[in-house]
Structure 1
Amino acid sequence: MVLIINNIKADIIALKKTLELHNIDVDTAESGEEALKKILKNNYCLIIMDVQTPDFDSFEVVKILSANKQTKDVPVIFLSALNIEKKYIFKGSETSVVEYITKPVDTDLLMLKVKNFIKIYEQQNELKEIKDLLSKEIKIRKEAQDNLETKIAERTRKLVLKNEELEMKNHELQQFSWVVSHDLNEPIRKIQVFIKIIKELYLKNDEKGIDYIDRTIKSAERMQTLITDLLAYSRLSAKVKPEITNLNIVLQDVLSDFDYLIERKNATIKTTELPAIESIPSQLRQVFQNLIGNALKFSNTENPPVIEITSELISDKSFDSPASPEGKYCRIIVKDNGIGFDEAYLDRIFIIFQSLNDRRMYEGTGIGLAIAKKIIEKHNGLITAKSEVGKGARFIIVLPLKHE
């Protein structure tokens, strides 16, 4: 904002009108006393003052401004018709007056100077803001630097202790899992044996009793499967050294385990050459077992199952990475023509105990894919699936050739 000081109202109005035409905010004062009160209350980027004022000394006003810390840097433009008297010019210079313009005022020249002062004022404010921000930043950084080493040391100490604690708990959990698995499996096995004896010896002619017995046997089998799967899931936390693994051998072992089911369902298995990678063979065997087992389990009743296992080398750790003979990763796809699923529920299928299908129709614990995901992630790999309801599913795995 620009302050105009003049005791002649007509001159104030004319000058104010000129400045406002250039979108400049203007304030006015008609006396030295009024001007000083306003200057102390408001921030002005420029003061325009008439030299000849009968009721106050313009130069005294400027001296007062120069002596005040708040106003000492505010520039002043003197307007005067007394350009022939050098004493006024010298007097203005002594009081740090920035500009001295004679009357009649050249409007273009005045506006040029006014805009320059406004621009300088804005730049000074920007610089001040930047300086303040830099000062705060330097202060913050200095404080942070002073405490950084202490905080890092303390944080490292806590992390080491926490890691040791987690390793101990992990070891205890694995021992607990083994014990619980054994203790739970033993009574279940006895239940299965005694139930079958009851069925064979005492219920040969009781259809309703046989139905209840068969349901009990199935429930016991599901419980046994659940315990086995939970134990397998807990084992994944154990540290095992990876080794060079021929995935073709792993896959053939899995297919051999499913010989009876493949024959019973008249399934077709198509495979291509798989690579040898650094891995934990038993864990990848479990991945193939879960994926192929699901493909056989969730087959379409109208057509025999067709399962395709393909592989190719790729350049990057990405599902969409282009194929590359020199790639450091492999992409393995297990494709089937089964019942499929809605991709809207993709995230759920890899969560433990989550199942998208009716467990009365399709037996299972909802742990298999959670195990597969955890194994792939332990191998620094990726796993996802593509599917449509009724159109089968494709499970896509990306694994590094060398263990990282």
Structure 2
Amino acid sequence: MVLIVDDIRANIIALKKTLELHEINVDTAESGEEALKKILKTNYFLIIMDVQMPGLDGFEVVKILSGNKRTKDIPVIFLSAINIEKKYIFKGYETGAVDYVTKPVDIDLLILKVKTFLKLYEQKNELKVMKDLLSKEIKIRKEAQDNLEIKIIERTKELVLKNEELELKNHELQQFAWVVSHDLNEPVRKIQIFIKIIKELYLIDDKKAIDYVDRTIKSAERMQTLITDLLAYSRLSSKVQPEKTDLNEVLQEVLSDFDYLIERKKAIIKTGALPIIDSIPSQLRQVFQNLIGNALKFSRNEEVPIIKITSELIKTKEFDAEISPDGEYCRIIVSDNGIGFDEIYLDRIFIIFQSLNDRQTYEGTGIGLAIAKKIMEKHNGLITAKSQVGKGASFIMVLPLKYDNK
């Protein structure tokens, strides 16, 4: 349950209704004193608190919470429309808050953060249950007969591995929560680019300007779809219904998103015919966006970027499988003539938040290829790469024509 603390009733009602629309349980308090009383009686996975309140203000409440063993780990997000100076933001983090959001609030981003903390809370509870089970199991096995010692070791190892797996997922989710908001800014930057073009180069009644406006609207729609799909995909238990997908249409949508950058870099895009497969199109669109986006980003300044996308049907689910017109799998290759990389780092590039390049020169979060790998695995597919430094890179994907949601 989320606790909303604000001395203005209207603010509480608006935020409460928004969270409840997303099936999030909400409790409220209209003062710092009332909030403390409720926190001592109820378990909350997140507190959203106004900074400036009569009596105990938000800073004082969080300071009290941080001094209590039971409440010190409850995450707190400050909301403030008045105290927006850096000194107040620094003070908020110093008192123990996990975030400090100034008004007006980006409600989509706030919902994303709330759902992320809910997932973290559920993961921590699962972890606690697993640790309790582990402790009980060890105690029971130690009291058993000597001939059960081998089974004790085997069972303990299984539980320890499961415990480590939960901790790893919990850690990845925490990292994802901090980085995802940055990654979602790309569609916003796209909108800003088109708006500047319209403002600086075209008149209102210019047909080309209208075309850019239409593209801007489509980019905004894709931004919302991207947010929704990433949130759904981050939930391991979520199930998305696959559909017949023409990968040629998916690719053209991606190339349309990059048309400004392609034109600016004078890039040459060569595409072959891609198959129609069962898939989750929004997720495969994300894969193509990451691969083509990287090919454009990591191009060499002295050469015109050349990107090739080809496909062929193959017999088996292997990177080097034999070509077959009746094959049940397709092999898609996205290659470029960019800066490339040393293949000794091949495993590293698909790990979340890993980057082989100077982030001051090549902006990025290190999440793109990790997301691509997870999406391929979700589609029962494979992905790898071949490259040499200074000689470009080729990313190879193998996908089944029929979707198998295991």
TM interval, shorter chain, is 0.3 to 0.5
TM-score, normalised by the number of residues in structure 1:
0.45
Structure (1 or 2) with the larger CA radius of gyration: 1
TM-score, normalised by the number of residues in structure 2:
0.45
